[in-house]
Amino acid sequence: MASACDMKNRIQGHPCFGGNHHKNGRMHLAVAPQCNIKCGYCTRKHDCANESRPGVTSRLLTPQEAIVKVREVMASPVVGPIIKVIGIAGPGDPLANEQTFETFELVKKDFPHLMLCMSTNGLLLPESIDRLYEMGLHSLTVTINAVDPEVGAQIYRHVIYHGHHYTGVEGAQILIANQFEGLKRAAELGLTIKVNTVLVPGVNDDQVPLIAERVKKLGAFVMNIMPLIPQAELAHIEAPDEQRLAEVRKANEAIIGQFSHCKQCRADAIGLIGQDVTVGESACAVPTQG
Ligand code: CLF
Ligand code: SF4
């Protein structure tokens, strides 16, 4: 596990890990269409709610199209200098798509100075972490919404793992076990880790401190508690308001540092957090909401 000093050096410039987000930006590449689970708050028609604002359709890119896009953005005198991170965050789960690895390899070859960042639901993390590490992944986000499978069963409709379809507590159990196991191994390898937790009022409120404690102990660096965007099976649940969100973050900040500038970016966002830009024919013309 990395020391606090190593960690501080590693996050320099990463806008989602405490690097100056007014100065440093990220570019997401929407190359990962498939997902291996079904979160109750996801419509699957749009971006992954792990890291994106649902309701805005992305244009999928092939790895080749993605690297062309990166070259174009990095050549822009306005946007190029602010991009410090290349992230893959959907629209499905990056680890369920081989294109994720192909794309990172292409980016690494052309732009070795850019940080590679990925957000996953964690189902395939234990079996993918060595490959990600060897590829040079800098930072990892795992979305963890529950510690107890009984609660997870209220959030995840199904889990498809190694060709088998699991539902209810059984599915949640597999997912949650893999999330923590993958996170632990990522921390042992020295990756910089953030945990996203979608706050689903009335469902996982009491899980948040349990998640915070467990991931801190396993080596996560920061936690990002995000508000539920009510839709799909969880459309009937009211989103937590700003005040409630602030309370929950405050209640957990003594356990693990809290990231509070998240804008639930699209899977194809480019630029500073919350101030996305359009470059060429990018599908990121619609700015993210604050
Ligand atoms: Fe992208 Fe996510 Fe990497 Fe950041 S976003 S993959 S860690 S480079 Fe950042 Fe956007 Fe919030 Fe994500 S503001 S949704 S936390
Ligand atoms: Fe949707 Fe992401 Fe959940 Fe998959 S992991 S169901 S894409 S929110």
Q: Does residue 290 lie in a domain region?
A: no
Q: What are the residues whose beta carbons fall under 8 Å from the beta carbon of 163, sequence distance 6 or more?
A: none
Q: Is residue 33 a part of any domain in this protein?
A: yes
Paired residues of 159 in beta bridges: 37, 166
* Residue 214 to residues 7, 176, 183, 217, 219, Cα–Cα distance (Å): 19, 12, 10, 5, 9
What region, left, alpha or beta, does residue 82 occupy, with left being phi > 0 and alpha being psi -120 to 50 degrees? alpha
**Is 282 contained in some domain?**
no
Residue 61 domain-assigned? yes
- Inside any domain, residue 56: yes
Pick the ligand that lies closest to the CA of residue 229: 2
Domain range for residue 202? 4-274
The dihedral sign for the CA sequence 58, 61, 63, 64: negative
92 CB under 6 A from ligand 2?
Answer: yes
23 to 18, 53, 225, 245: CA distances (angstroms): 11, 22, 23, 25
Establish if 289 belongs to a structural domain: no
Quick one: which ligand is closest to 19's CA?
A: 1
What is the mean pLDDT for each group of 10 consecutive residues in the chain (290 residues)?
60 79 90 95 66 55 96 94 93 96 98 96 98 96 98 97 97 98 97 96 98 98 95 95 96 95 85 72 28
Tell me which amino acid residue 116 is: L
Ligand 2 close to Cβ of residue 121 (< 6 A): yes
Whether residue 281 lies inside any domain: the answer is no
Q: Kindly give the number of the ligand 1 atom that is closest to the alpha carbon of 50.
A: 14
pLDDT of residue 56: 45
Pull the structure tokens for residue 71. 């070259």
Question: Does ipTM come in above 0.85?
Answer: yes
CA-to-CA separations, 131 to 49, 126, 152, in angstroms, rounded: 25, 10, 28
> What is the pLDDT at residue 223?
96
In a domain, 285, yes or no: no
Q: What is the pLDDT of residue 21?
A: 81
Q: Which residues contact 253 (CB under 8 A, 6 or more apart)?
A: none
User: Ligand 2 pocket, 39 CB below 6 A?
Assistant: yes
CATH of the domain at 39: 3.20.20.70
Overall domain count for the chain: 1
